[in-house]
Amino acid sequence: MMTLEIVYFFYMFVSLFFLALFLSIYFHNRKTLFFIPTLTKNHSLSVLVPAYNEQNTIEGTIEHIFASDYKGLLEVIAINDGSTDNTLQVLSKLQKKYKKLVVINKANSGKASSLNYALKLVKGDFVAIIDADSYPDKKAFSQLMGFFSDQKVGAVTAACTPMNRKSLLERLQTIEFKVIAFTRKLLEYIDSIYVAPGSLSVYRLKALKEAGGFDSKNLTEDIESTWHLLSMGWKVKMCLAATVRTVVPNTFKAWWIQRVRWTVGGFQVLKKYRKDLFKKGMFGYFVIPFFIFGLTIGILGVGIFFWIYMIRLFQRMEIVFYKMDAGVPLVALQDLNITPSVLNYFGIVLFIIFFLFTIFVLMAMKDDVLKKQKTYEILLYSTMYLIAYPFMIIWSVYKWSRGYNRWR
């Protein structure tokens, strides 16, 4: 076997291993996937809503927060981070309606910095972070807060799902978010949730303060804060039953920019916590390697694909030049007779397994997505959408090397 074939088999082995790991965790814990701990105490909760140019969505976010059935809601602090639109005016109007709404208006300094600013003012023992374009369900806070009866839990996150599901891109993200929520919940069973996303996560204030708040130098303050908590020995949980709907990008450009920011943020976090590799329990032994694999395996896959096909392309081109020079036919029927190799079969099987896994996840999530989603969209998600990822990662590496630091 040649080196390239060995690398190809390694890529397949690792991909299959992680898939098998998820299935193993699922079958051991499938009965508790949607478990909601009983709420024994209504802890005081402060909700932080950082906002930058969110005039169209922030009203809905605030309305949804105040519609919550959680009885310990102490205050909602909206931080207007130097918006250039009417976000502040919308908030001022809402302030008249909700007495518990506190509005902070400050010069633009980024999301993490805004959250740190607000953290100094919070009165609750727990802090929820909600993006200003996200809409938590009525029961979400009650469902999340129950997890904190375990004193080792530092953060709890909810299942995020797209609000807008009309365009193809939005519908593909719906599938993606379902898969992410499902696998994230499974990671909880091995104490390896690597991010409590900003769309809706609740933190124990003590843990957050111990971590020194949010890292304003990081593009993904939610990944960073989660890693910080894990590195200090705190647990991060997920409530699959608690949902928050969020506005997702509806153009490819916006999607691309968002994902590049997430990925560059991931690189920053990896760099910051590289010394914890193979230290500190599951964090160093699984979360960091898993994250590294997640970022590199796609590049490896696309690298192999390109290596093989670029070489073939160059060979074909040279052969074509030779044929043209000699005046022989460029293509003959015989050239189309391709006998598949074992590698082709392995690739097809792996693709089918991942396709079936996606369907399985959509079924396991007990959501109506599967009914509404067209089969070709799941197929498209398994091919085009996932194929775009390695390119996005490569682009992110480039942007990171150029000092990319846009947080929005």
Partner 1 sequence: MEIRYRHYFIEALVITLILFIMGFLLGFSLESARNAELTEYYNSTKSDLGLLESQLKSLDVDDEECSKLITQNFELGNRIYEQALIFQDYETAAIFTKSELVEEHRKFDILKTIYWINSIGIKKTCGDDSFETIVYLYEYPATQIEEISKQRVMEKISQEVRSNTKESILIPIAKNLEISELTELIKQYDKVNESVLLIINEREVYGYEESKSLISN
Give the range of 101-109, 173-181, 336-344, 381-389 binding partner 1 by CB under 8 A. 336-344
Of 23 and 67, which CB lies nearer to partner 1 in the complex structure? 23
How many other C-beta atoms are found inside a 10 Å radius of the C-beta of residue 194? 20
Q: Which helix (H) or strand (E) holds 81?
A: strand 73-81
What's phi and psi for 192, nearest 5 deg?
A: -130, 25
Bridging pattern class, strands 45-51 and 73-81: parallel
Which one of residues 24, 40, 251, 375 is an interface residue with partner 1 (CB under 8 A)? 24
CB of 241 to partner 1, least distance (A): 23
Interaxial angle between packed helices 288-326 and 386-401, expressed in degrees from 0 to 180 and rounded to the nearest 10:
100
Footprint on residues 104-163 left by partner 1 (CB under 8 A): none
CB of 404 to partner 1, least distance (A): 34
Which one of residues 7, 21, 270, 397 is an interface residue with partner 1 (CB under 8 A)? 21
Which one of residues 82, 281, 294, 303 is an interface residue with partner 1 (CB under 8 A)? 281
CB 273 within 8 A of CB 225: no
CB of 192 to partner 1, least distance (A): 9
Q: How far apart are CA 77 and CA 75, in angstroms?
A: 6
Contact flag: residue 318 with partner 1 (CB under 8 A): yes
Contact flag: residue 336 with partner 1 (CB under 8 A): no
Which one of residues 96, 275, 337, 402 is an interface residue with partner 1 (CB under 8 A)? 337
178 Cβ neighbours under 8 A, 6+ residues apart: 161, 361, 362, 365, 367, 369
Give the range of 144-152, 247-255, 264-272, 327-335 binding partner 1 by CB under 8 A. 327-335
SS3 389: helix
Give the range of 20-28, 198-206, 243-251, 252-260 binding partner 1 by CB under 8 A. 20-28
Burial of 139 (0-12, 13-18, 19+ CB in 10 A): middle
Of 151 and 334, which CB lies nearer to partner 1 in the complex structure? 334
In a 13 Å sphere around the CA of 54, the CA atoms on its Cβ side amount to 25
Contact flag: residue 286 with partner 1 (CB under 8 A): yes
**Which residue in 7, 14, 16 sits closest to 306, CA to CA?**
7
CB of 300 to partner 1, least distance (A): 17
**Which tokens go with 256?**
């691309």
CB of 290 to partner 1, least distance (A): 11
Q: Report the DSSP beta bridge partners of residue 46.
A: 75, 127
CB of 323 to partner 1, least distance (A): 6
Give the range of 42-50, 80-88, 230-238, 279-287 binding partner 1 by CB under 8 A. 279-287
115 to 129, 211, 224, 320: CA distances (angstroms): 8, 13, 13, 61
Q: Which DSSP letter does residue 275 get? A: G
Q: Which helix (H) or strand (E) holds 98?
A: none
Which one of residues 67, 168, 254, 349 is an interface residue with partner 1 (CB under 8 A)? 349
**Which tokens go with 187?**
């990671």
CB of 1 to partner 1, least distance (A): 6
Which one of residues 191, 222, 224, 367 is an interface residue with partner 1 (CB under 8 A)? 191
CB of 334 to partner 1, least distance (A): 7
Q: How far apart are CA 52 and CA 78, in angstroms?
A: 10
Give the range of 6-14, 41-49, 74-82, 359-367 binding partner 1 by CB under 8 A. 6-14
Of 25 and 144, which CB lies nearer to partner 1 in the complex structure? 25
Contact flag: residue 339 with partner 1 (CB under 8 A): yes
CB of 177 to partner 1, least distance (A): 24
In a 13 Å sphere around the CA of 165, the CA atoms on its Cβ side amount to 18
**Single-letter amino acid code for the residue at 98:** Y
Of 18 and 407, which CB lies nearer to partner 1 in the complex structure? 18
Contact flag: residue 13 with partner 1 (CB under 8 A): yes
The order of strands in the sheet holding 134-136 is 101-106, 73-81, 45-51, 126-129, 201-204, 153-162, 235-246, 134-136
CB of 13 to partner 1, least distance (A): 6
Which one of residues 107, 328, 333, 336 is an interface residue with partner 1 (CB under 8 A)? 328
1 to 11, 308, 338: CA distances (angstroms): 15, 15, 20
Contacting positions for partner 1 (CB under 8 A): 1, 5, 9, 12-13, 16-18, 20-21, 23-25, 28, 189-191, 281-282, 285-286, 314-315, 318-319, 321-323, 325-329, 332, 334, 337-343, 345-346, 349
